[in-house]
Each structure stands twice: as C-alpha cells, then as structure tokens.
A and B are shown apart, each in its own frame.
Chain A
C-alpha cells in the first residue's frame, strides 16, 4: 500500500503537466508563431465566409470543377467522420460494389470517371481516380488525374483547354526535396483559382 500515494500523485503530475499545461503552452506558442496553421488553414472567400480548409478535400460534382477522389468519409468528404473503406483486395464489395446503388465498386467508379470525362471505355486511368483514400478527406489528386479532367472542365466553362492545362501545371506540386511524397494537385485550391480565372475572363 505504500505505493498508493506516489501512484495517485504521479497521475496528478501527468494530468497537470502533460494533460493541461503542455497543450495550453503549445496552443499559446502555436497561435502566436503560426496563427493560420494553428486554426486549421481555413480558406475564406472575398466576403470572409469560410469555404473550407486548404488541407481538407471537399465534394465536387459539377462538370465545371475538378473532381476529387471518391471518398468513404460519411456520405463523402464528411470532415466530422473521417475514414476509408477498409475493404481488402479480394472484397467483392470493393471490386463490384453492392449492386443496389448504395456502394459503388472500383469498376463502376472507373466507368463513371471515363463517362464523365468523355474517355473511351478501355482508357487506362490513374490509380487514384477510382480508389478511395484512407482519410476520405484526401485534398489531392495526381497530375495525371487532373490532366484527364481538364478537357471537360474547359468545355463546361467555355475556356481554352490550354488555359485550364496551364492552371493545372501551376498548381502541381512536385515531390518534397525531389524525394518524399508524390506529385499532386490540391483540388480545392485549383477550383478556387478556376473561379477566379473565370471571373477575370468575364470582366
């Protein structure tokens, strides 16, 4: 029993030091040094309304926007319910879907992707275009995926394909230090830039 007192008080030590003081100190320093990042890298429109976070993907389905990857987070890009399908490689549900429209397999997702973008039924499509991410909030698509969508976007917006391609190229980020991660395009930032470009063209 002689250990009871130190055991309880050591718990208290951890509560005060690591449970309360540490997060508060990081909060104080974080908001001072990196105010934008500490508050979730939120993006706002001209009126100041939050339109999303530059780190999180959001749903897009209209033809005039680039589309993100399929998502398993809630009903799709639900930032309060992150997650993947957790279906394994031999799962019939993952390959062929449920057949009642409630869940699409990747064959169906690939077919939809080709149909949306006016591609021939046997076009080889990028790996990220018909698979769901781990978080369901993947903000990025591969440059190959963006490239296959750009003709559709240009047509829907009445822009020249070269204009849209140039925008995609400007928003493509390479590997960090040429080594880490994969080349990618942030869909939300690209679509914001598209809206800006369209507004300028109209003017």
Chain B
C-alpha cells in the first residue's frame, strides 16, 4: 500500500472522530425537542406541520402504536412513489419523454420498495428510464423520509434502554418532522451548495449535444443532480442520478468531492453513537460502540485497499503495471476512475457498505475476490460498521444484546445492558431479526442459483457469478443498494424477489427491535453490582467485534467459500471462466 493511501484512511477517521461529539450532541437535543439555533426560523413550520397532520407531538406512543404509525407512513409514501413512476409520462419535468413503458409494474414495485426501505437498489438505468420529476419527487423524497424514519427508530430503541418503567417510546411523527427540519435540511442545504461549487450540476435543462473535437456528437444529460446527491449520501441512501452512480464525474467530480462524500456517509451514523451515550447518561457507552465500529472499519479498509492495490495475476501477465509508481496508480484499475485511484475507491467501497449507503465510485463487480469480499462481508454482518442512518445503531444494539447474553452465559448470570435485565423476550427478538435476515439472503440466493431464468442474467461465469447473486441479496436484505452490477436484475424474477428481500430487511428488522425496546422501556433499573459485566470498556468493544464477526462468519462462511474464496484461488492459478 502507498503512504498516501494509509495516511488518508487515518485523516478520515480523525475527522470523523472530531465530528461525532458536536453532531451527536446536537442530535440528542433535536430529538429531545429542545430549542436549537434554528427554532426561530423553523419553529413555526414545525408547529404548522403538526397542525396539518393533526397530531400531538407530546403524545407518547407505545411500541405498537409507534410501529403502526411507521408502517402506515411507509406504505402511503411507497404507494405514492409507485404511482408517480407509473404515471411519469403524464407528469411534468420530463424532457426525455419517458413513460410507463420504461417503468413496468414489476420494476416500479421494486423501485418503490427500494427507495422506501432506504436501499436505493436500482434495477434500472436512471438516465434511460426516469424523468427529472420521477427522480426529484418520486424517489428523492424517500432519501429524506427513509433517513428520518431510520433515525427515529434508532432514537426510539435508545429510549427503550434509557427510560425506566415507561410505557412509550416517543412520538413517531414528531421524531420524523424534527429530524427532517432541524437536522437533515440545514446540513443538506449547505452540503448541496458545496457539491455545486465542486462541479455537480443543478439545472432543469434538456440534454446538450456537444460537437467533440474530432467532430463526433456527445449527448450530455444533466438535471437536478446536486440536490439529490447530497441527501443520497447524508441519508445513506445511495441511489444515483446516473447509472454509474458516484463514479460519474457529474456526481463526484474530484478527489475533494470524494472525500466530502465519504464524510457525509458516515457523519450521522458515527454521531448517533454519541447521541446514544448521552441519552443513556454515560457517553462512554457510546464510545464503546464507536470503538467497535471503527475497529471493524479500519481492518476492512486496510484489507480491501491492499487487495485492490495488489492487482491481479492476469493483469501482471498482460504486462500491465500493478505496482504503484509516481506516474500511475497500479493495482486493479478495471472499473475504477483515475481521479480516485485505488485508495479513494477501496475506502469508498468499505464506507458505502459499512453504512447502508450503497453509492459506489467504482464497480465492485470488477474487484479482486478478496477486495470484493470486504464489502460483501460488511453487508452480510448487517451493516453495523457505523451503518445506515439509524439502522447502523439499532443493528449494533441488537448485537450488543447478543454480546451481553453470550457473556452472561459464560459466567452464568442474568445478562444486563445499560441497567436493564436482558431476558428471554429481548434475546428472542434479537435472534428473530438475525435469523430472518440470514434466511432472506441465503434462501433467495439458493433459489436463484437453481433457477435457469435467474442464471441467464449473470454477467460472469464460475464462482464470480455466484458472488453476483450472493452480493445482490445481501445488498437488498441489508438495504444497502450497491451491486455487483453486472447481474441484469431488471427481470420479473429479480424485481419481485429483490423487492421482497428489501421489505423483509427493513421492516422485519425494525419491528422486532421496536418490540424489544418496548419491553425494555417497561423495566425498572437494576443498579450495577460487582457481578455486572461493564459495557463501557474496551473489553466489551472487543467482545462486540467478536460477536459480529462470529455470527457473520458462522452464517455465511459456506456461501463466501463458494464465491470469493474459491475465486481467489482460481485467480491465483490464472484460471478464467
């Protein structure tokens, strides 16, 4: 690995660490309904919104009420998006003249599910399918809404741990509205202008036809890119305005915009660990989670960068430079951009899959087997390396419950976490979420592997083809949205099965966790005793990392062996398929 690639990983983690405390503290205040600097400007809009909705923001909801409100909103907004996509032909801002022909029912279902679940899996090629209106109104609203919903759930789950003998988990409508107005909106407005300054277009112009220097024609599509780009990253959504996503120079023009994007993706997921620490009354509890996440992230970033920088034996055999020199990047540059090189691409792959973002600035399908294994493993372990906005924290809290349970088994005591007894119901809910997600990934991958129609969609043969399928369902179930994009998933089989995996991954994770939080909130506080396993220590962070890796490895090792691991050895032996 080159020196700049290691140094930029360190600088990145340093900046993330600096952002975590102020941003996390601010988030705690927003969700507690405290006054912020923005209240004089936006307080009226907040109160007006509650009046419009006809809700009382002070009403404390039981977990079931919270879950029903969440499901009602998700369903309403998903149906709305389905309608917009199907009707784009008669809606405005459609200079391309796209209609329902580009958006058949199975694709519209898949896309609506994908954006509602904060995944942004894209079975379609945006510039060949979507009008500006569909992008802006049909899809981008979910980039905001699903991020706000994810954060709201995380806060509700934290309240379950923080409250004592309480009935409710907070008010869903107030959590979503406050998050949108006081957190997402100001950050996005500033960030969008930073993107425009860096070269990301924002206009409603039709295509420009350029006459190239050699006299050819190049049709250049633009659009309202910056306003979508910012929330795509800040909300860990990841759906590109263009097919090439953040590899497209209009979405990510420079190394500076690339680094800015990386910080955006992990800023809220990292900050919420501090929000958590503050809300449970012990910031060290938050730092323990931050430490566990950072450790997993750092190891992943180093492995992925090293694997990609090593290049492949096939490239070396063709006399293509694989070591880095001052004049070129070396390594495996297939599917990577020169301006990002190896380091800026590999770090992006780790960040986007550690979070449930799924934006890509390089084509993961063309990664070396071990380089591609890292993003795959990140998704299979539930995207808890900072994770999606909100989703990362509630996923990690699920693992924390399992970790204290395992620690409790080892010493023969009833496990406790944050002063709450962890009993049968909590462990059942945590296991239910774990098992449902694993089943979705493995069963759909297995069914597709056995289906000739599905196999006809593969872009690669041999073990890499299997990796394409495993990656697809890991991404869909994990609500990531990145892809081994060679697989042509715009077929009824994939649109429907992926659509279900998306909804399972989102809602069958959220509901058990809200149930767990509801049960925890009702419990009283158990004072710490000499037999309590402390969870604000390095020991706990290490145990937590161990549980994440063991659960992931035990569940998915056979699948990973058939895909990337076999492929690695075949590549070393210079085999091709």
Residues of A within 8 A of B (CB): 3-11, 13-15, 17-20, 22-23, 25-27, 29-31, 33-34, 37-42, 49-53, 55-62, 65, 69, 73, 77-92, 94-96, 106-107, 110, 122-145, 147, 175-176, 178-184, 188, 191-192, 195
Instruction: Give the Cβ gap from B519 to chain A, nearest Cβ, in Å.
Output: 22
Q: How far is the CA of A52 from the CA of B202 in the complex (A)?
A: 17
Considering only residues 293-337 of chain B, those with a C-beta below 8 Å from chain A are: 311-312, 314-315, 318-322, 325-337
Q: Which residue of A lies closest to B361 (CB)?
A: A134
Instruction: Give the Cβ gap from B224 to chain A, nearest Cβ, in Å.
Output: 4
Q: Could you count the A-B residue pairs with CB atoms below 8 Å apart for me: how many are there?
A: 422
Q: How far is the CA of A121 from the CA of B199 in the complex (A)?
A: 40
Chain B residues positioned under 8 Å from A19 (CB to CB): 136-137, 140-141
What per-residue 1/0 map shows which CB atoms of B171-198 lie under 8 Å from chain A?
Answer: 0010011001000010011001100111
Chain B residues positioned under 8 Å from A143 (CB to CB): 326-328
What are the 6 tightest A-B residue pairs by CB atom distance, in nearest-first order?
A181-B255, A144-B327, A86-B486, A182-B341, A134-B247, A126-B328
Q: Which residue of A lies closest to B205 (CB)?
A: A39
Residues of B within 8 A of A (CB): 4, 7-8, 11, 49, 52-55, 68-69, 72-73, 75-77, 80, 125, 127-128, 136-137, 140-141, 143-145, 173, 176-177, 180, 185, 188-189, 192-193, 196-205, 207-214, 216, 218-222, 224, 226-228, 231, 242-244, 247-250, 253-256, 258-259, 311-312, 314-315, 318-322, 325-341, 344-345, 360-363, 365-369, 372, 459-464, 467, 484-486, 567, 570-571, 575-577
Instruction: Give the Cβ gap from A143 to chain B, nearest Cβ, in Å.
Output: 5
Instruction: Give the Cβ gap from A49 to chain B, nearest Cβ, in Å.
Output: 6
- Residues A55 and B210 in contact, CB atoms below 8 Å apart: no
Q: List 7 A-B contacts (CB under 8 A).
A: A3-B73, A7-B69, A33-B193, A84-B335, A90-B462, A110-B320, A144-B328
Q: How far is the CA of A17 from the CA of B463 in the complex (A)?
A: 46
Which one of B173, B208, B259, B576 has the greatest number of beta carbons of chain A within 10 Å?
A: B576
Chain B residues positioned under 8 Å from A145 (CB to CB): 328
Q: How far is the CA of A147 from the CA of B327 in the complex (A)?
A: 9
Instruction: Name the one of B54, B224, B365 contacting A23, with C-beta atoms under 8 angstroms.
Output: B224
- Residues A4 and B259 in contact, CB atoms below 8 Å apart: no
- Residues A128 and B464 in contact, CB atoms below 8 Å apart: no
Besides A5-B54, A79-B221, A92-B577, 6 other A-B contacts (C-beta < 8 A): A9-B53, A18-B140, A18-B143, A55-B250, A128-B338, A141-B338
Chain B residues positioned under 8 Å from A188 (CB to CB): 213
- Residues A13 and B73 in contact, CB atoms below 8 Å apart: no
Chain A residues positioned under 8 Å from B8 (CB to CB): 179-180
Instruction: Name the one of A60, A83, A110 contacting B243, with C-beta atoms under 8 angstroms.
Output: A83
Q: How far is the CA of A94 from the CA of B486 in the complex (A)?
A: 12
- Residues B459 and A87 in contact, CB atoms below 8 Å apart: yes
Chain A residues positioned under 8 Å from B336 (CB to CB): 131, 133-134
Q: How far is the CA of A34 from the CA of B484 in the complex (A)?
A: 35
- Residues A22 and B250 in contact, CB atoms below 8 Å apart: no
